[in-house]
Chain A
Amino acid sequence: MFSINTIQEIFDGLKHNKLRTVLTGLSVSWGIFILIVLLGAGNGLKNGVTSNFSDRATNTVQMWTGTTSMTYKGLKSGRSLDFGNKQLSDVDTHLNETSNQTGVITKNLTITNKSEFGSYDVKGVDPSYSHIFNLKFEPNEGRFIDLLDNKESNKVIVIDKKIEEVLFKGTTSLGKYVKVGDLMFRIIGINSKKARFDNGTAFIPFTTAQYIFNPNMKFNNIAMSVNGLTTKKMNDDFSDKLKKTMGNSLSFDQNDPQALYVQNSQRDFLQTMMIFDGITIFVAVIGIFTLIAGIVGVSNIMLVTVKERTREIGIRKAIGAPPASILRSIIIESIIITTIFGYIGMMGGIALTELVNYIMVQTAAGNPNGPTVFKNPTVELSYVLISTGILIVAGVVAGYMPARRAVRIKPIEAMREE
C-alpha cells in the first residue's frame, strides 16, 4: 500500500500544486494553532483565578465550648465546658475527614515596640494552624511556629504584616523583640496573608500560651481543616458527627444547642469550588467549540480540494487507474498534509503559549504571588496531542467522503468538470 511508487506520485502531485498544498496545510495548522492558543488562554484564566482563590480553597471548621443547657446522664445543666488534649486526640482518631487540628487559646494583649504599641489578639496555636488557615510567608520574612518551639515553649511570636507596619513603621522586625503583655517575645515570622476584618493577629506556641494564660491546661477553641466535603449535606453530616464525638468525650447531649458551637467555612469553600467548576466548564466549552470549528474548517478545505480534482480523477480513471488506487492516494495525501501541517501548528501553538508564560514569569518576577487573573497559559501535552489527532482524523474522513463520490462518477462525466 505504501509503495515508493505511490509515495513518489503523491509527492509529485503535492509539489506541482504548491499553492493548494500550502493553503490546505495552513488551514490545518491554523485550526490546531488557534485551538491550542484558546485552550491556553482558558487555562491561563483558570490558573490565575485558582491562584487568587487558593487561600479559600480549604474547608476550615472551628468549634468553641459553651455551657450546657440540657441534662445528660444524670449531669445537671449549666455546666461550663472546656477542651483538653483528650478532645484534640479524639478529633484526630474519630473523624477521618480532618487532616490538621490545633487547639487555639486567644487573649487580647498589648504588644509594644519601644514607644509604639497596640492591642491585638494573641493566639497560642500548634504549627498546623499555618496549614489550616493558609498563612503566607514571603522569602526573607521568616517562618511559622515549629514543633521545636512548641516542645520547648519558646517565647517566640509570629505577627501579621499589619502589626509590623504599625509597630515598626516600615523597618524590618524579623529577629527583634517585642513586649507582649509583660513578657518579651522574639519575632520569628511575618504573615502576609491579609486578614479580612481584624486589625492583625499574633501567634505564639500553644504550650507557651498554656503556661502563661492557662495553667490548668484547658482551652475553649479547636480549629481543623477537613477534606473531601464537597456538598452541603456532607458538611452538615460532618458537623453532626463532630457534635456527637465531642458529646461523648465531654459528656453532653449532642442536641444541646449551647454546649458546643461549630463554625464551618463551607459556604466560602463551596462557592470557591463552584467558581473552579465554572471555569473548568468554560475552558472545556471553549476547547470543544474551537475543536468543532477546526473540524469544520479542515473538512471544508478537504472537500474543496477533492472537488477541484474531479477532472484529474476522471482522466486517471480513463487511462486505467483502479478506483481503490485513486482513493488510497487521496487519503494518504490528506494524512501527509494534515500530519505535517498539524505538527507545525501544534508546535506554533505550544511555542506561543510557552513564550507568553515565560514573559509573564519574567515580568512578574518581583511579585510572583501578586494578584492576577491570568497565570501559566499552557496546555497539557496529552490534550494537545489528542486534539491534533482528532483534527487529523477529521481531515482524513472529510477527504474520504467526497473522494469516494468523485471516484464513483463515470470518467466521462468527471472529465467534463472544469
Chain B
Amino acid sequence: MITLQNINKTYDMGQASLHVLKGIDLHIAQGEYVSIMGASGSGKSTLLNILGILDNYDTGDYYLNNKLIKDLSEKQSALYRNEMIGFVFQSFNLINFKNALENVALPLYYKNVSRKKRNIIAMEYLDQMGLKDWAYHLPNEMSGGQKQRVAIARAIISKPQILLADEPTGALDSVTTEEMMKVLADLNANGLTTIIVTHEKAVADETKCIIHIKDGLIGSIERK
C-alpha cells in the first residue's frame, strides 16, 4: 500500500537549513493500523504530510498504491488527495461558515456530485457517526468530540484507501479520546488503512503497530 524508500526532507530557513527527514524507509500494508510516535521536532508530522501529499520531499521514492508520488502537479496531487486519502487534523479544520452536513459533503463537490446527492450521502455518514441530529449545526455550536467526528465523516466520505490522522485526540479530553479511538478502530476493522501521528502513549497503544521516529530516522517499529 505505502512504500517509502530513503525519503529525505530539508526545510530551508533562510540562511540555515533544517534536515528533518534523513532517509526514511518504510512499508505499510493494506489494512494496517499504524501509529507514528516521536518527540516534537522529530519529523513525524512532516512524514505524515508527505504521506498525505500535502508536502513534497527532496530525495527518495514514495509509492502509494503502486503509484510513484513525486514531482506531481498541483492538480494531480489534488486529485490523488481527493481519491485516495482522508485527513483528520488536531484542529479539526472544518469550514466554520458551513454546517456539519455541508462540511462532510464538501469532498464530493470536488468530485462533481450534485448537491442533492452529496447531501444524502453526507447524511448517511453523519448518521454513522451518530450526529444526524447535528447535521444543520455550525462547527462552533459543537463540542470538540463532535467536531472531530464531523471531520472523520468528511475524511471517509470519498472512500479513501488510507486515513491520515494528525494528533486527532490532541484537543480532546480523555473520555472523548477513547470514543474517538473506538471510531478509528472500527474504521480500521472495516479494512481502512489508518495512520495516526500522536505523542500520547495511550493512543499509540490502541494501534497494532507503533513506529518510533527519532531525529528524522526510524528508531524502532513495535508490532503486536
Residues of A within 8 A of B (CB): 3, 5, 8-9, 12-13, 16-17, 312, 314-325, 408, 410-412, 415
Known: A319-B82, A320-B81. A13 touches B97 (CB 8 A): yes
Q: Which of A9, A13, A16, A321 contacts B78 (CB 8 A)?
A: A321
Q: In the complex where A9-B109, A17-B97 touch, is A317 in contact with B78 (Cβ < 8 A)?
A: yes
Question: A17 vs B115: C-alpha distance in the bound complex, in angstroms?
Answer: 19
User: How far is it, in angstroms, between the C-alpha of A323 and the C-alpha of B74 when the chains are bound?
Assistant: 7
**B223 interfacial by beta-carbon distance below 8 Å:** no
**Cβ of A319 to closest chain B Cβ, rounded Å:** 5
Query: Are A312 and B79 interface neighbours, CB within 8 A?
Result: no
Cα distance, A3 to B115, chains bound together (Å): 12
Report yes or no: A320 in contact with B54, Cβ–Cβ below 8 A.
no
Nearest 7 A/B pairs, CB to CB: A320-B82, A16-B97, A320-B81, A322-B78, A319-B107, A323-B74, A322-B75
**Inter-chain contact A315/B110, CB cutoff 8 Å:** no
Q: Is there contact, CB below 8 Å, between B110 and A325?
A: yes
Complex interface: chain A residues within 8 A of B81 (CB): 317-320
- The reply to whether B107 and A324 contact each other, CB–CB distance below 8 Å, is no
Quick one: which of A16, A321, A323, A415 contacts B93, CB cutoff 8 A? A415
In the bound complex, residues from chain B placing their C-beta under 8 Å from that of A325 are 110
Main secondary structure of the interface of A (DSSP, over half): helix
- B154:A319 contact, CB within 8 angstroms: yes
Chain B contacts of A322 at CB under 8 A?
Answer: 74-75, 78-79, 110
A319 and B115 CA atoms in complex are apart in Å by 17
Is B115 a contact partner of A315 (Cβ separation < 8 A)? no
- Inter-chain CA distance A12–B99, complex, in Å, is 11
Closest to B92 in A: A315
Q: How far is the CA of A17 from the CA of B95 in the complex (A)?
A: 12
Q: Which residues of chain B in 56-98 are interfacial with respect to chain A, using CB atoms and an 8 Å cutoff? A: 74-75, 78-83, 87, 89, 91, 93-95, 97-98
Known: A17-B97, A318-B54. A5 touches B115 (CB 8 A): yes
A sample of 14 cross-chain residue pairs with beta-carbon separation below 8 angstroms, ordered by A number, consists of: A5-B114, A17-B97, A312-B95, A317-B78, A317-B81, A318-B93, A319-B106, A319-B107, A319-B110, A320-B79, A320-B80, A320-B110, A320-B158, A415-B89
Q: How far is the CA of A320 from the CA of B81 in the complex (A)?
A: 5
Chain B residues with CB under 8 Å of A3's CB are 112
- Max count, chain B CB within 10 A of own CB: residue among A12, A17, A315, A320: A320
A101 CA to B98 CA, complexed, in Å:
79
Residue B167 lies at the interface, judged by CB distance under 8 Å to chain A? no
Contacting A at CB under 8 A, from B175-215, are none
Asked if B54 contacts A412 (CB within 8 A), the reply is: yes
Residues of B within 8 A of A17 (CB): 97
A323 to B79, CA, bound (A): 10
Given contacts A12-B98, A319-B87, 10 further A-B contacts (CB under 8 A): A5-B109, A5-B115, A16-B98, A318-B81, A320-B110, A322-B74, A323-B78, A412-B54, A415-B91, A415-B93
Q: Is the CB of B112 within 8 A of A324?
A: no
* Docked pose: A319 CA to B103 CA in angstroms: 11
- Give the nearest-CB partner of B97 in chain A: A16
- Contact A316:B74 (CB < 8 A) given known A8-B115, A16-B98: no
Residues of B within 8 A of A410 (CB): 54-55
A293 to B215 Cα, complex, angstroms: 54
Q: Closest residue to B81 on the A side, CB-wise? A: A320
* Cross-chain contact B112 with A5 (CB below 8 angstroms): yes
Residues of B within 8 A of A314 (CB): 93
B42 within 8 A of A: no
B84 to chain A, nearest CB (A): 9
Instruction: Map CB proximity to A onto B104-135 as digits: 1 under 8 Å, 0 otherwise.
Output: 00110110101100000000000000000000
Instruction: Report Cα–Cα, A316/B103, bound state, in Å.
Output: 10
A415 and B96 CA atoms in complex are apart in Å by 13
Contact between A321 and B110, CB atoms less than 8 A apart: yes
Contact assessment for A324 and B89 in the assembled complex, using a CB-CB cutoff below 8 Å = no
Interface centre among A17, A408, A412 (most CB of B within 10 A): A412
List of A residues within 8 angstroms of B107 by Cβ = 319-320
Interface flag for B49 (CB, 8 Å): yes
In the bound complex, CA of A408 to CA of B115 (Å): 27
A residues near B54, Cβ cutoff 8 Å: 318, 410-412
A16 to B78, CA, bound (A): 25
Residues of B within 8 A of A315 (CB): 93-95
* Closest residue of A by beta carbon distance from B111: A320
A271 CA / B140 CA spacing, docked (Å): 70
Contacts of B94 in A (CB 8 A): 315
Give Cα A5 to B89, complex, Å: 27
Chain A residues whose C-beta falls within 8 Å of the C-beta of B49 in the assembled complex: 412
Q: Among the listed A12, A318, A319, A320, which residue makes an inter-chain contact with B102, where contact means beta carbons less than 8 Å apart?
A: A12
**Nearest B residue to A324 by beta-carbon distance?**
B75
Complex formed: what's the CA distance from A315 to B89 in Å?
A: 10
Return the chain A residue nearest B99 by Cβ: A16
Tell me the complex Cα distance, A46–B114, Å.
57
**Chain A residue at smallest Cβ distance from B52:** A318
In Å, the complex CA distance between A314 and B83 comes to 17
Residues of chain B within 8 A of A312, CB atoms compared: 95
A120 CA to B75 CA, complexed, in Å:
92
Specify the chain B residue showing the minimal Cβ separation from A321.
Answer: B110
Complex CA distance for A308 and B196, rounded to whole angstroms: 30
Tell me the bound Cα distance from A410 to B93 in angstroms: 15
